[in-house]
Structure 1
Amino acid sequence: MDKQNEKTKSSTSRVPDTLFLYISVITAHLVSIASGTSMVWTSPVLGKLYSNDTEVNPIGRPITTIEVSMLAAIPTFTNIPGILFMPKLSDIIGRKRYLLSAAFVMLLAGVGLAFSNNVALMIITRCIFGFHGSWMVVCLYVAEVTEDHNRGKFGCYFGILHQIGHLFGFVIGPFFSVKYFTLITISPLLIFLVIFTMLPETPMYLLAKGREEECKMALRKLRSNKTEEEIEVDLEKLKENLKKQKEEKGKITDLTKKRESRLAVILGLLPLITTYCSGVTVIFTFLAPFFDEAGTSLSGDIVAIIIVVFKITFFLLTSLVIERFGRRKMFLISSTSTAIPLFLLGIYFYLQSIDSSLIAYLQWLPLTCLIFTVCFFGLGLGPIAQAFVAELPSEELRAVTSSLVHSIGIFVSFALTFLYPIISELGVQWCVWWFSMNCVVGSILMYFFLPETKGKSFVEIQDMLKNYSKLRKQ
């Protein structure tokens, strides 16, 4: 590329983002809203399933502890084969077609869940709902329709819209039956299926498939505030990226053969595992019953709404400042800070377990600690980890790498979700303290090993991984 093109590229790389780009990203994340609501579905529903009232409880009897573990955890575990194999299909049929197909399957599974009248059927339909790993392909879609300077900001939208899904579930869950609550939670999928059909495929995918004219059309829609010359510069940049990333066809074996591919997996896992092991996702799965165990005068359902509002606020804040402060710094601040309120929350539950007289003076502590936990979590671990995973791999290995990394993360989430209801009967404090310790360990590991990707193109990130040892010595 000549100097004039380089100058043009430099001068146009940070023009304001278009309304169409915002619509494309937000519409894609309607799937994330549905997934987020599904994640906390158990929180308002468990109270009904514990009831002896057959008018409230669709299974006709109180649910057992082991059934709670199975209902919450098994759908998470069965997501693993879906995440490992299904998103690779998006490399064949395209990100757009895959997401449309996945949303339709989610819609059918949601209807089946709404009319389920036994635990086994609930587990099966919840498994189908999340089997395809659509949220991961959403992250890929967003990463490929955005640019280097705004990829981090829009990458945070997964966390934001996922949390809005949490809020959606917490707000409406207590006021509707299990059937109508479930039907309402899948309504964003209907909107998605209507609007997303009119949105473009990702330019990166189109160019990779040799559909250059369609790629240019997609670029014109997504970056309509750029001139035709600037669009040509962006197209040449995409061609350059593909040329460097696809010198040889990507294979799953390249994950072990190529140093940068191995590092993409390991470094992607580091913040993601810390995110899951912080326990925030587990706590949100059981948020209403979790807070009810604290024994305060506040309702667990009301507390869930309060906490998720704070969480969304800090997810939004992170999306505004991430390109200024960078991924690594935000991860370190988030993980270190999240450990503190979790440790204090563990002290509260310990004092409660020994019937300490101090509990009467500490009724404010559980809500305060949970608010600070989700606020600090929202500064990095929550909104950035998913997008960070999609940044590290090369284009031809992005889907398979993300599948592997997220599968390992989901397995960790399954184990924590399954074990929490059982171990918490021995003492909630032990669970919460363990979550706190995980945040500290994660901070230490990220401080020493995690690189910064702020403002870097996919090619620059690959070059950085190739020279990773040199970077660590600097």
Structure 2
Amino acid sequence: MKVTQDDTYSEHRPLSITKSDTLFLYSSVVTAELLLVATGSSMVWPSPVLGKLASNDTATNPIGRQITTVEISMLTGIPQFTNILGLLFCPKLSDVIGRKRYLLLAGIGMLISGVALAFSDRILYMILCRCIFGFFGVMSVVPVYVAEICEDRNRGKFGCYTGMLHQIGHLFGFVVGPFLSVRYFTLVVTAPLLVFITAFPLMPETPVYLLKHGRITECKASLKKLRRNKNDDELELDLRRLEERLRNEPEGDVLSLLKKREHLFGLLLSLLPVMLRYSSGVTVLFTFLAPFFDSAKTGISGDLVAIIIAIAKICFFLLTSLVVDRFGRRKMLLVSSCSTAVPLFALGIYFYLHHVQSPVVEYLQWLPFTGLLATVCCFGLGVGPIPTYLMTEFFPANLRTVSGSIVNSSGNVMSFVLTFLFPIVSEELGTEWCVWFFSANCLVGAVLIYLFLPETKGKNYSDVQKVLKR
């Protein structure tokens, strides 16, 4: 244990004891983020499936014919659009019925749509099921749930777990996808939702939500479960800090979000790293990872490369979770965005040389794999994991879901556009121009972060608001 100065409550900033996080807190975080494991698997679902849908073998292709380029864009792009609608409207429901209850309902809905997808035999049905699966907006609500059960000192670490579990979902999809039929693959990657629905009822509602709705006794019980290593006096102090924090918070609607200068700035600053994450192209490349690598024609299986790269990505997400509270969000985002641009630019050079049939390509067969590996590792140092939870640090509890809906839906607009256009532009202009575009976005994002994004490391909500008011 170590003694730290607490700046959440009391004008005199009393000293408090920083204790290790409880096993129950870890369990609550990981169980909630099983939804993100399933979401991550769904995101990379096209990577192993598109190759099967392009086959004439009816044993592996459930639609019985080769999928067209336009259908590929529809299957990967339209669900991104409906996700936007879900992110705008669904997460607000968690302010009404509670974070826990909403996530349970979302898990059930995702499970039903995942099973329906497994038994779909038409492109239209597949598109519809994937649209329903992503409609519940769990990418906005899960980070809010995690932020509200954590303390200021461990918010960064557990916030990075959100991104890491999402990447584990990617790896899960990449590992099992090449070896199973479309039906069994879809059922297997939907299985984490069964575990979630079974275990999550045992986890608590967030203390912040309970206190905000006047359920003080339940709030105390939730705090006691999450922080079992604290005595009654320490828990009472935590409760008073939450009361102090919530006392002057605004109403949780869009108008309230736009009334104050600091909330508007917080919204714009939250958008910056999220838009950088999507415009870097890494999420797009993961959707098409196996076909993307196969197009490089190096002789190495795209499915095998996808597995290796997904493992590397998880390792770097984990590394970021361990060091982000030491080095800071802003610094890691800067390093990550600048370094991600370099291998992306190199990949563009390879695809250009391949396009013009340069003889140099024979000596650069190592570049596609090395470049992709370096890209996801650099991405995992900050641009990947940090934006998901950074947005929760700019807003009070009442505004987290509405702000998260706006920020995530805006990110999904970009994701929808890029995912829909990527196979078409790659076919018409060449993959190199897509990759160079992503590289340029990383550099532009780094400049904007350097100029505008403040550091939130170790700061509570009040401190962050003071920075935004300047």
TM-score of the superposition, structure 1-length normalised?
0.96
For 2:193, give the aligned amino acid. L
How far apart are 1:396 and its partner, in Å? 1.5
Establish whether residue 436 from structure 1 lines up as the match of residue 439 from structure 2. Answer: yes
Aligned length: 464
Deviation at 1:9, TM superposition (A): 5.5
> 1:34-113 counterparts in 2 under 5 A?
34-113=38-117
Show CA shifts across 1:248-272 (max 9, x none). Answer: x333112222111111110001011
Aligned-partner SS, 1:447 = helix
Q: Paired residue for 2:166, among 145, 162, 166?
A: 162
Post-superposition Cα deviations, 1:284-341, rounded to whole Å, max 9, x if no partner, equal 0000000000010100000000101110000000000000001000100000000000
Q: Cα gap change, 1:59/1:256 in structure 2, threshold over 3 Å: closer, same or farther? A: same
- Cα distance in 2 between the residues matched to 1:172 and 1:41: 10
In structure 1, C-alpha distance between the alignment counterparts of 2:103 and 2:92, rounded to whole Å? 12
What is the alpha-carbon root mean square deviation over aligned residues?
A: 1.5
Shift in Å at residue 10 of structure 1? 2.8
SS at 2:65 equivalent: coil
Q: Hey, what's the Cα distance between the residues in 1 that align with 2:351 and 2:13?
A: 60
Q: Specify which of 298, 308, 332 is matched with residue 306 of structure 1.
A: 308
Equivalent residues in 2 for 1:64-463, closer than 5 Å: 64-246=68-250, 249-425=251-427, 426-463=429-466
Give the letter for the 2:144 counterpart: L
Contact 1:9 1:233 in 2 (8 A): no
The amino acid of 1:378's aligned partner reads G
Measure the CA separation in 1 of the matches of 2:149 and 2:217.
16
Alpha carbons 2:207, 2:223 under 8 Å: kept: yes
Q: CA deviation at 1:136?
A: 1.4
User: After superposition, what is the alpha-carbon deviation per residue over 1:165-203, rounded to whole angstroms, capped at 9, x for unaligned?
Assistant: 000000000000000000001110111111110110000
Q: Pick from 35, 48, 51 the counterpart of residue 31 of structure 1.
A: 35
Runs of 4+ that moved beyond 3 A:
1-9
Q: CA deviation at 1:135?
A: 2.3
Between the aligned partners of 1:313 and 1:3, the Cα distance in structure 2 is 33
Q: 2:26 matched to 1:10?
A: no
Is the CA contact (8 Å cut-off) linking 1:8 and 1:230 kept in structure 2? no
The 1:270/1:318 distance shift into structure 2, 3 A limit, reads: same
User: In structure 2, what is the Cα distance between the partners aligned to 1:239 and 1:136?
Assistant: 24
Q: Secondary structure at the match of 1:382?
A: coil
State the Cα deviation string for residues 25-62 of structure 1 (Å, max 9, x = none).
00000000000000000000000000011111000000
List alignment gaps of at least 5 residues for structure 2.
1-5
For residue 381 of structure 1, give the secondary structure of its aligned residue in structure 2.
coil
Q: How big is the shift at 1:275?
A: 0.4
Does structure 2 conserve the Cα–Cα contact (< 8 Å) formed by 1:264 and 1:401? no
Comparing 251-260 and 25-34, the one that deviates more: 251-260
TM-score, normalisation: structure 2: 0.97
Distance (Å, rounded) in 2 between the aligned partners of 1:34 and 1:135: 11
Shift of 1:244: 2.7
- Using the alignment, how far apart are the partners of 1:141 and 1:401 within structure 2? 14
CA distance, structure 2, for counterparts of residue 4 and residue 458 of structure 1: 11
Secondary structure of the corresponding residue to residue 263 of structure 2: helix
SS in 2 for 1:200: coil
Query: How many angstroms apart in 2 are the aligned matches of 1:325 and 1:96?
Result: 32
Shift of residue 112, structure 1, vs aligned partner: 0.5
Q: CA deviation at 1:463?
A: 2.2
Q: CA deviation at 1:153?
A: 0.5
| Deviations, residues 329-382 of structure 1 (Å, cap 9, x unaligned) | 010000000000000000000000010111100000000000000000000010
Structure 1 unaligned runs (5+)?
468-474
Tell whether the 8 Å contact from 1:244 to 1:459 is kept in structure 2 after alignment.
no
SS of residue matched to 2:385: helix
1:3–1:314 CA distance, 2 compared to 1 (3 A): closer
Q: Secondary structure of 1:73's match? A: helix
Letter of the 1:455 partner, please give it.
Answer: G
Specify the SS of the correspondent of 2:16. helix
In the TM superposition, what is the alpha-carbon distance from 1:3 to its structure 2 partner?
A: 13
Aligned partners of 1:9, 1:156: CA distance in 2, in Å?
A: 28
Q: Distance in 2 between matches of 1:300 and 1:138?
A: 31
- Which segment drifts farther, 254-263 or 439-448? 254-263
Contact 2:319 2:381 in 1 (8 A): yes
Query: Aligned partner of 1:383: which letter?
Result: P
Cα displacement string for residues 125-158 of structure 1 (whole angstroms, at most 9, x for unaligned residues):
0000010101211100000000001001000011
Q: What SS does the corresponding residue of 2:204 show, helix, strand or coil? A: coil
